[in-house]
């Protein structure tokens, strides 16, 4: 990646039948790591578990119970009428991988599979978001797996599954590895310092990324007042910045060859720093000038290490705080 290159990720959600939930079956052979580029858009076969887990406030394994109960609710704050009719699913929680401990079960609101059944905007009002598509995540009675959940924006005490956040299927050959990767994110949330002091540099970076996305996740609705920010503990802040400095930046300068999979952009150091508000020309960080024959990330890395020993020593990572009502 060079300069201000913007990569558009188009999520292709496989395994969903339009308008019908999918019964868990043994998965087909995995697709290639990345489809061909078309019109400058890189098409990926699906979200990584990190892309699903980072924005989720609860990731839990368990079993779905889906009866006939429905609930009419707005899809977003301020929508007004008409409402969307959701199915009400119950997740009997087996284990919480990410988030606060849950006893018993939680309620999940499942939108209609057919977008025509989703009255998205009221007459005369422009929509706030894109209209949901037919491949909204659907659930079936008795379904087992790991579910990526966020609080529903208008119905307190209920969760929903954001677009593309398909559950992990126990019949998938990658299930154990994916569940373990999500658990590492939960472990970093539970004991940040221990995770940031892991022996392996790759593990330390994974912990740093998990914490960066946790702390910089805003929970205010669109149009709400700015969310207050508070500094995280100094030791934790320094360990996060150090873990990013010690990671492999050069891989993001290397051109892909043939069908080689791309690097994991959820762990890209420059993106993590941008999420923290660390940019060239700000916070005492020098402007970035890439010399001929050198890589953008290589150059950024050298400047970052120098900055970290100087002006960066006083930098505080701040998190968005949730105001108590």
Residue 166 and residue 234 in one domain: no
The answer to the question of residue 207 being in a domain is no
For residues 20 and 93, membership in a common domain is answered with yes
The residues near 164 (Cβ < 8 Å, ≥ 6 apart) are 11, 13, 46, 47, 52, 135, 137
Q: Is residue 245 part of a domain?
A: yes
Cβ-count burial 248-280 (b if 16+ within 10 Å, e if not): ebeebbeeeeeeeeeeeebbbbbbbbeebebeb
216 contacts 276 by C-beta, under 8 angstroms: yes
Q: What integer pLDDT is reported at residue 26 of this predicted model?
A: 36
Strand partners, 58: 149
Residue 4, in any domain of the structure:
no
- The yes-or-no verdict on residue 9 having pLDDT over 50 is no
Q: Is the pLDDT of residue 35 over 60?
A: no
- Rounded mean pLDDT, 101-111: 93
Are residues 34 and 89 located together in one domain of the fold?
Answer: yes
pLDDT tens per residue, range 177-199: 999 999 999 999 999 999 999 99
Q: Which domain holds residue 269?
A: 213-320
164, part of any domain:
yes
> For residue 116, what pLDDT is reported?
59
pLDDT above 70 for 65: yes
Q: Cα separation of 21 and 142, whole Å?
A: 12
Kindly state the percentage of the chain with pLDDT values over 90.
55
Strand partners, 63: 92, 144
Q: Is residue 285 in some structural domain?
A: yes
Last residue of a domain, one of 174, 198, 222: 174
Asked if residues 137 and 56 have their Cβ atoms less than 8 Å apart, the reply is no
Polymer length of the chain: 325
Verify that 110 and 249 share a domain, yes or no.
no
Residues 6+ apart with CB under 8 A from 35: 12, 42, 43, 44, 45
> Tell me, what's the pLDDT at 8?
33
pLDDT band at 31 (very low <50, low <70, confident <90, very high): very low
Q: What does the angle CA 227 – CA 232 – CA 238 come to, to the nearest 5 degrees?
A: 135
Asked if 152 and 14 sit in the same domain, the reply is yes
133 plus 225 within the same structural domain: no
Q: Which of 174, 201, 234 is the last residue of a domain?
A: 174
Round the average pLDDT of the chain to a whole number and report it.
81
Q: Give the least confident one: 7-21, 71-85, 237-251, 289-303.
A: 7-21
E strands present in 139-199: 144-151, 158-160
For the residues 70-77, what does the mean pLDDT come to? 86
Is residue 182 included in any domain, yes or no? no
Boundary of a domain, candidates 123, 150, 174: 174
* Counts of helices then strands in the chain (DSSP H, E): 7, 9
Number of domains in the chain: 2
Q: Are residues 246 and 140 in the same domain?
A: no
Residue 2 has pLDDT above 70, yes or no: no
Q: Which two tokens stand for residue 12?
A: 């292709």
Q: Dump pLDDT digits (tens) for 131-164.
A: 444 446 889 999 999 999 999 988 999 999 988 8
Q: CB–CB of 269/244 below 8 Å?
A: yes
pLDDT, one tens digit per residue, over 208-259 is 999 999 999 887 665 667 889 999 999 999 999 999 999 999 999 998 888 8
Query: What pLDDT is recorded for position 33?
Result: 36
Residue with tokens 């940031």: 196
């Amino acid at each position: 990646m060079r300069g201000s290159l913007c990569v558009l990720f188009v999520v292709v959600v496989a395994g969903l039948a339009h308008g019908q939930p999918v019964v868990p079956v043994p998965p087909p052979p995995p697709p290639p790591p990345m489809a061909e580029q078309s019109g400058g858009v890189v098409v990926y076969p699906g979200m990584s578990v990190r892309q699903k887990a980072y924005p989720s406030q609860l990731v839990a394994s368990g079993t779905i119970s889906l009866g006939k109960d429905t609930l009419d609710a707005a899809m977003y704050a301020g929508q007004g009428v008409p409402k969307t009719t959701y199915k009400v699913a119950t997740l009997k929680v087996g284990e919480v991988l990410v988030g606060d401990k849950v006893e018993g079960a939680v309620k999940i609101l499942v939108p209609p599979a057919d977008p025509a059944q989703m009255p998205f905007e009221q007459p005369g009002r422009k929509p706030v978001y894109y209209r949901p598509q037919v491949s909204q995540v659907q659930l079936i009675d008795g379904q087992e797996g790991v579910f990526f959940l966020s609080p529903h924006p208008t119905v307190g005490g209920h969760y929903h599954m954001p677009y593309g956040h398909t559950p992990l299927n126990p019949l998938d050959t990658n299930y154990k590895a994916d569940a373990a990767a999500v658990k590492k994110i939960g472990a970093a949330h539970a004991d940040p310092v221990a995770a940031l002091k892991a022996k392996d540099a790759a593990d330390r970076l994974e912990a740093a990324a998990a914490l960066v996305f946790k702390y910089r996740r805003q929970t205010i609705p669109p149009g709400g007042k700015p969310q207050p920010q508070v500094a995280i503990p100094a030791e934790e802040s320094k360990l996060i910045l150090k873990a990013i400095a010690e990671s492999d930046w050069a891989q993001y300068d290397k051109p892909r060859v043939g069908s080689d999979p791309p690097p994991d952009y959820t762990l890209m150091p420059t993106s993590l720093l941008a999420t923290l508000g660390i940019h060239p020309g700000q916070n005492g960080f020098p402007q970035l000038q890439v010399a001929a024959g050198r890589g953008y990330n290589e150059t950024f890395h050298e400047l970052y290490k120098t900055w970290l020993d100087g002006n960066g020593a006083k930098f505080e990572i701040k998190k968005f705080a949730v105001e108590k009502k």
